[in-house]
Chain A
């Protein structure tokens, strides 16, 4: 009986369509721009319909690169981003599962102390301790390496909390039954906890993959060797790094390629993504 008027609904649809159009607009423009030749931009404003140069532009950015701007072909950067994102994701998930298991299923000295140490990481994002963290990584000889790109980022309070919450909801009887059957802690973890947590792991995987893929400041600091550049930081060098006006058609082709993997992850795993997002923040 509430909200059942036709005009109201029509108006709502209109506003929503405008809203969706505004949200989609920037990527639409990027896709359009990536299908034109460089000279199109010299003649003034960008056309709103696709051009014919898509194939040339995309093969150029992916396989040939732009030697003038000092950037390698982005195929290498995409691979680096993928390795970094996977290392961060898997690293975060594994160490968080292990610590949540320890905190929930064991009684030991300094348990609360360790819990608080993990909690503190929430309060110390990379951005606020840039210089000293860089110094530590440099002292450990981890500059220009995948270890340096991923390991310093894999501590995770949110994942640990989420798994702790989840483990607390698992019935006590599970452990009793496992005990009766003579299972030790590691067997219990592997054969009972892990299989039960699989949905939570998948949901967090989606969130963390996006987090890892989109890292910007950290790779910018610790990579000077172009063979370790990641795609998100590489774009900045193309777009605003040089002195001349950037080659926008190639920059936009790179933008589309760089944004594609995380966007696809969200679109194909929307349900897991929403679950991961709303539950990690509680």
Chain B
């Protein structure tokens, strides 16, 4: 990694400049991460008196634990659902807004602000809208003959948290898709039009492939978002229920560590989550550098 050709020469100043960032990283990032690794190899008895070294036992127990396997599945469904819903709506809106000349900025303004809403608040908003007794949507669903109750129906609870999480993320995806669409040279699309390709053909054979780097980038970002930033959505609404139906991994780490005080297991779960983040980050950097197919 390069610096400027011409640099300052000073024996201690660069270290001093880096010190705040590095010290905070060491105390609040690296040390806890190390602790998680260490604790994941230990087990405490129920009263916290005895700690024994158990090797990888915490990990093998996790994968034999039905609740953890359930949380893995729930997280998978939740992440894929949130990513697909949010990205497809955002892509549709971005393609349409990109056609507009005069109204483009107005539509954009209306579509970007949900980015500012905290996940927990997004959750509470949709929790209210879907509230079985006073919410507005169950009232309409009732007319269609669907009875809605996310407090007892696990699938409906899952749908609720997916909608809440995806809603908040639409703005983000929209802005990136719009930026991507605007960077596609107009001449390409006109050339295809001259060759007689209709709108849908033009979209699927030219625009969409050219968007693939952005699409891929957004997929990784959205999966990371759905896996790690949606703690608030779950905690403020379903609290993992009903019957574990929305108990995503991040929420389970919190519950096991703080409510059940099962430190060894919680630490092992942290380590698995870290491995997932590392994988996703590497994936992102590797492919963003290479720029998928062009």
Contact = CB atoms under 8 A, between A and B. Distances in A.
A103 interface: yes
Contacts of B30: 117, 120, 124
Contacts of A144: none
Contacts of A95: 20-21, 24
Interface stretch (A15-23, A55-63, A71-79, A195-203): A15-23
A61 B109 CA distance: 29
Nearest to A220: B235
Contacts of A106: 3, 7-10, 13-14, 17
A230 B256 CA distance: 24
B294 interface: no
Contacts of B136: 29, 45-46, 48
A78 B10 CA distance: 44
Interface string A123-134: 111011111111
Interface of A: 1-3, 8-9, 12-13, 15-16, 19-20, 23-27, 29-30, 33, 41, 44-46, 48, 94-96, 98-99, 101-108, 111-112, 114-115, 117-118, 120-125, 127-137, 140, 151-152, 154-156, 160, 168, 172, 175-176, 179, 184-186, 188, 210, 213-214, 216-217, 220-221, 232-233, 235-236, 239-240, 245, 248, 251-252, 255, 258-259, 262-263, 265-267, 270, 273-274, 277-278, 281-282
B281 interface: yes
* 8 closest cross-chain pairs (CB), A and B: A262-B116, A214-B118, A132-B32, A132-B35, A102-B17, A106-B14, A128-B273, A131-B257
B120 A251 contact: no
A34 B290 CA distance: 50
B124 interface: yes
A179 to B, nearest CB: 8
A127 B36 CA distance: 12
Contacts of B18: 98-99, 102-103, 114
Given A96-B21, A136-B28, A278 B3 contact: no
Nearest to A42: B134
A13 B103 CA distance: 9
A96 B89 CA distance: 35
B148 interface: no
B68 interface: no
B110 A24 contact: yes
Contacts of A112: 1
Given A117-B22, A136-B32, A210-B116, A277 B274 contact: no
A20 B237 CA distance: 25
Interface of B: 1-10, 13-15, 17-18, 20-22, 24-33, 35-36, 39, 89, 92-93, 96-97, 99-100, 103, 107-122, 124-129, 131, 133-136, 139, 167, 170-172, 175-176, 179, 186, 189-190, 193, 199, 202, 217, 221, 228-229, 231-232, 235-237, 239, 250, 253-254, 257-258, 263, 266-267, 270, 273-274, 277-278, 281, 288
Nearest to A217: B231
Contacts of A44: 134
B100 A12 contact: yes
23 contacts: A1-B190, A2-B186, A13-B103, A27-B125, A102-B18, A105-B3, A105-B8, A106-B3, A106-B17, A107-B3, A117-B22, A128-B273, A131-B39, A131-B270, A160-B21, A210-B116, A236-B124, A240-B127, A245-B133, A262-B118, A266-B113, A267-B109, A278-B179
A131 B14 CA distance: 33
Contacts of A136: 27-28, 31-32, 35
Nearest to B114: A23
A125 B281 contact: no
B236 A236 contact: yes
A19 B25 contact: no
A152 to B, nearest CB: 4
Contacts of A25: 129
Contacts, number: 308
A263 to B, nearest CB: 5
Contacts of A108: 14-15
Contacts of B8: 105-106, 184-185, 188
A211 to B, nearest CB: 10
B129 A29 contact: yes
